[in-house]
Structure 1
């Protein structure tokens, strides 16, 4: 808004991964990997800023009950205060040194064509209002999404026609497209996606909407979500604006928050989580053990604690678990020594499943193409030793799913592209023999 003195006015149906719904909540398997960008380095006040950080900063106020008040202020994630109106909100998102008005924002920006709008740009009405452009919702650039603070609370609007008569109740023609002079595109890492890990991950929100995350050739991650449970799909859009990930896995916390964990090209790990069930996403944060991570998988225990498992480049597996549902994380621990899993970044080197009685089971593809498993002896209990588990032949990937009647099923991709499966004969019961689920050439990972 002006100052107070101014006028107030289907992605191949998710390949194998989408079929993997552990505990009825999320595909937490080794083939469930999409990707994510690494956490962007934080900008300095009035300094250069990446587009993804602008959106992350905008999301910090979204979902909070911040009252619209031109005479009020509220802090960003570091505590720096900005005026609680539309232009103060944009000033916060751009990480400016002070809260500008709709009349002074053009002084730090350049007018652009609306067709050239990118995440973090703005549509500014000089005397009335400003909105922060998030993304185009379609490839034709006819509809878009934006954030705005014109009333309480901050709004996130999607599917808005660029030709609508008004934006936030102000005439379309009054708005000009502006780009902050110090905003920069996120770095693209073309080599980020080298085929390591999986390419797709899925998660189910607390309200029942399924979301899909997909790794692109440049290492960026795209996501598409149901607009309602079992309903139509939104368009694909950027979940992370630049590519800096090799693989990712997802899971759901006991309180319904979806979390995404990404393995980065340098072998690090980063995560992004809903700030509340069905709420806005946090920014990307550093998360992972010391060393080079090649794969990750997750599972949720019967008591609600989320656990993350990582394959390291020496084949060892490390794990970290919440100390309580939704609580702090433990330190990283050695879950298996050298050589247990393929540490070369192979797709599907690690998979997890949860039995009907709550026992978590971990399946690892070994360097020689075999498979081994380890299971809790009872729900939330001690772990068994590693056991041989898998069909004859050379395995390249594994995944799991649990049926409506509670039976856990395991699937393996073989080096000839065929898929094998083995299923519990009853919930928590004995396993069947391995069977051919698909013939030669069906799967890649």
Structure 2
């Protein structure tokens, strides 16, 4: 019995040692596996396997309802938040530093052909929708990830399908992230592509001399100006030093002394600014505007008050509008602070008006598809709580545009297939009911319109879903009107900007599908528009 027990204990010790050795080996294998699997840093190189794993994370851990004004975390460190919509989802999967839209997402990638799609590439319809490609199943079938509506999903489609994720298959453009790492550890070479316009331009006019400013795919702000009124635009050139990470649409101000100031947001969510040293001179280095300014997600707007002080406003990843201003004219900017309080998240580029007494009014698109507004009670005071504008205002699909006439505010916005408007009966009065301004043969509410004021009327221009541009003239208390195409040869993919010369000629600009800033002007005041041309 003693010998038997001894052998049993010896056998048990041997068995325990074997199990321990096996466990240690397994731990070693897990450790080795962990070391061999690289985990990306935000904005850095990333493997295809990690892209798919990150995409699957929001399928397995639903971030919440689709909401362009709200942000949720991915699987990375705390604080890495991404917008809850289609392009925000793809940005999360790619582990980008920013949450670009379906148009500016292309700035982080290069075009490829459909047959070359691999796991982690993406398909986008600029300005409309984007999905993440997963894998081929054979016979043209494939799987993909999408957050076009609630919930985030993994779905199947085909290259022969008429629609993919409720959008025409033929409109999708395939792209490959520039920092993707292949399974063999290599990073595919990024083709040399032309530097193109990445978003809508901003325009300004002085003594009938037009200047345009736009952010291009290299992340810099570019500008071009007429040497004389009515002349051709000069060569485009980069403005300021220290750029290279800008996205969206810059804000432009002509200061009271004639110099130009520019403000733009970076992929890191910070607003930078620069200005000319002298009228007509070069622009200085880009500098951060204010303190505590991280987290900006919407394009900035800016205004110079009668005192000479400049104020800048933008929406943030927390769904608020924040603002910052100089303490004295030409001085440093203070700390960014939240403007007013809102019952819903605010998104996109706010619209700004400056009243005759120097008060500021701000208007922004809500994540619930209404437009909200706030204004200062007195010049320089705190802003009131944000409130919905007018009645029957549901269904807004773009950022608002605000026009001020004798201190009476009128607001326009895309609303599905049309453009809608709401106005005050008089200065300071309540806003009326929203009114649809008619429609054309193509949906007109796909991008932010531009509005040009003229005596007693507003000229409204909107991009159609097919890239054409349409115009309508409405009274300054807007009513439905007829829409007609402006110019010929347009293929616009962004919001529009417009201006009016002292002679009453309207000009309209946007970025086209070829990545160029294009424009057209009336031949005479109130007349027809010429052919859209690259500028």
Given the two structures, how large is their TM-score scaled by the length of structure 1?
0.49
Given the two structures, how large is their TM-score scaled by the length of structure 2?
0.41
Specify which structure has the bigger relative contact order, considering alpha-carbon pairs within 8 angstroms and separated by 6 or more residues.
1
Specify the structure having the higher radius of gyration (Cα). 2
